[in-house]
Chains A and B, each alone.
Chain A
Amino acid sequence: MLQMTHISKVFRTDLVQTHALRDFSLNVKEGEFVAVTGPSGSGKTTFLNIAGLLETFDTGTYLLDGKDVSHLSDDSRSRLRNEKIGFIFQGFNLIPDLSVFDNVDVPLRYRGFDGKERRRRIEGALEQVGLASRAKHLPSQLSGGQQQRVAIARALAGTPRILFADEPTGNLDSLMARQVLEMLEEINSSGTTIVMVTHDPELARRAHRNIHVMDGQVSDFTDFSQASAARDALAA
């Protein structure tokens, strides 16, 4: 699904050069749930931005869904994000002046769906996150957890192949964080690939695989798929 090899990214300002990623290589298979951990400033967000086509990289190759994306135009990158990628942000990033319904509608309009199709998808996505009754509310009228669920509905409404989440629970208390995580697990179990950045080892452990980033490089892999399979077996 996602194949990065020897990716590097340097941020240049007048005074300093920051090597945000160096020789960064990573493979994420279709249907995987990968958690990315690492100290602050280690390059997690940079990785996610490059993976999600929000930023370009300097050297290396990146195949998304088997397609080389390094030379795509800005418009094609937008279209790919719109069709294949869903984003969930730490700060929810809902548009404050739009209702829940209109927020979920945003990517669907860029997709060019007709009104009927958009309505069907918005209602389905809000149903899925349990907020169908809040369609007319403004983000400010919802709790943090609810806002993040709206953001999840927005990410899901376009039926993306892969979901990128940057600290999706960073602004939530532990109860709400658990709810959000359970929702992500449910989405993943229906086939959507998820890459989630988190600094919470508790949450990270519930992913199939854990990638630790240090200083712009992958420093450690932990595969939980055996462990979680065992846990699922135990729970059953």
Chain B
Amino acid sequence: MNLFQKLALDAGPILRALTRSRAGAVLIALQCAITLAIITNAIFIIQDRLKKMARPSGVDVENVFSMSVIPFAPNFDTKGSIEADLRALRALPGVVDAAVVNSFPLLQSGGSSMYAAKPGAKGEEYVGAARYEVDAHTLNTLGLKLIAGRDFREDEIRGREINSQYENPVAILTKAYAEKMFPPDGNAVGKTLYDGNQVAIPIVGVVERAQAPWISWGELEYSAFFSNYRLSFARYIVRAAPGERDRLMPQVEKLLSESNSGRLIESMKSQTDIEARTYGEYRAMAIILVSVIVLIVIITGLGIVGLASFNVNARKKQIGTRRALGAQKGDIVRYFLVESWLITTAGAVIGAGLSFGLSYWMVNTFDLPPLDWHYIPVGVCFLWVLGLVAVLVPARRASQLAPALATRSV
């Protein structure tokens, strides 16, 4: 007879005994049910967060840093200043490239617009994309990978005041957006994009990936780059050679502040820091949930230990009697293991329902994705292991009780 058969053999009378004095067991089973519901959902959310944090933004995060440019002097020559700054930045040893942009992935601020693939399109034919207004160095500076067509040419680049129309713009789309606009294969190069004002924008290239600036945006991969950069609310981005970023950042700050006093350089940040800040909430959520899981597992484990210890004390005479009737120490341990297994299984059955209930509520309340059912069997297995491990010490103690307790009053 193998161990599993032996366990199953014991289960019948243990279950019948359990159903007759069930108060403590019911409480622990409910605790197990709640534990299962919380840990499956918490782990699911953590996984979801980790998965989102692992999405590539398309940017060479390690080597890129950025800053805001704020002109304040009256009659400031913004365009001349931006061009001079970028020339100076690109000339710095250790700088791979520098560019001017309105926004970039992970920044959490930027703009989006609706575009259509043909002129005079109707409402539902427009699809939104993050709108990156950039220069001819942007792809290289961010480290984006061109997979079709070409990069912008210098002669296509215009500096544009914020409320003015685009001037002869051309566009580069992300692969995801190109596939959406020109299904099925996303052959966008040579085609034309139309904005809401019916401005025709020729598409010259496609990049593999560039996330929109907002990490919780539904269509995170839909982005488009346009060859008109902005004169106000501009940001400089700089790509350093590997290992040079931290040396370059203070140097760039110094260079720019000394070269021109008509504008401010602000919020100089590495892309690594921006990513950490942007995903900070996700990370904090994951840490809180891990703590909740650890705590609830400890509490439930202690509950199981407590119930088993109580039962060992309350059943001293019974355990002595079982020993007298021929139970070996292993049989006594097995009794408590099976009992705990039955309680956690009862909890698991209720908990499985509760898990989906909790998930349903969270889907509706917090707009989370629904729980993947695979988490339930994994959670149940964990609950079983928890139940068996937690009961081991009291079970061993029970098995050490003297058989003579059967005849001695306790």
Contacts and interface: CB of A to CB of B under 8 A. Distances in A.
Do A and B truly interact? yes
B410 to A, nearest CB: 11
Interface stretch (A74-82, A175-183, A208-216, A226-234): A74-82
A96 B408 CA distance: 18
Given A48-B407, A109-B10, A112-B1, A102 B324 contact: no
Given A105-B13, A106-B322, A97 B20 contact: yes
Interface stretch (B80-88, B276-284, B325-333): B325-333
A82 B329 contact: no
Given A95-B321, A154-B325, 12 more contacts: A54-B402, A54-B404, A54-B407, A75-B329, A81-B324, A82-B327, A90-B407, A96-B318, A98-B17, A109-B9, A110-B326, A158-B326
A5 interface: no
Given A93-B321, A112-B1, A78 B407 contact: no
Interface residues on A, range: 35 or more
A105 B330 CA distance: 18
A54 B326 contact: no
Interface in A68-127: 74-75, 78-79, 81-83, 87, 89-91, 93, 95-99, 102, 105-107, 109-112
Contacts of A38: none
Contacts of B20: 97, 138
A3 interface: no
A79 B326 contact: yes
B289 interface: no
A206 to B, nearest CB: 22
Nearest to B13: A102
Contacts of A32: none
B13 A98 contact: yes
Interface residues of B, number: 29
B317 A110 contact: no
If over half of B's interface residues share one DSSP class (helix, strand or loop), that class is named, otherwise mixed; here it is helix
A112 to B, nearest CB: 7
Interface of B: 1, 9-10, 13, 16-18, 20-21, 317-318, 321-331, 402-404, 406-409
A21 B328 CA distance: 26
Contact of A55 (B325, B331, B402): B402
B407 A89 contact: yes
Contacts of A166: 407
Contacts of B9: 109
8 contacts: A89-B321, A96-B318, A98-B16, A102-B13, A102-B16, A107-B325, A158-B326, A166-B407
B325 A110 contact: yes
A79 B21 CA distance: 29
Contacts of B322: 95, 106, 110
Contacts of A154: 325
Given A49-B407, A54-B404, A99 B16 contact: yes
Nearest to B10: A109
A52 interface: yes
Given A95-B17, A98-B13, A138-B20, A87 B325 contact: yes
Find the residue from A52, A78, A95 having the highest chain B CB count within 10 A.
A78
Contact of A87 (B10, B324, B327): B324
A79 B17 contact: no
A81 B322 CA distance: 11
A95 B18 CA distance: 12
A61 interface: no
B327 A78 contact: yes
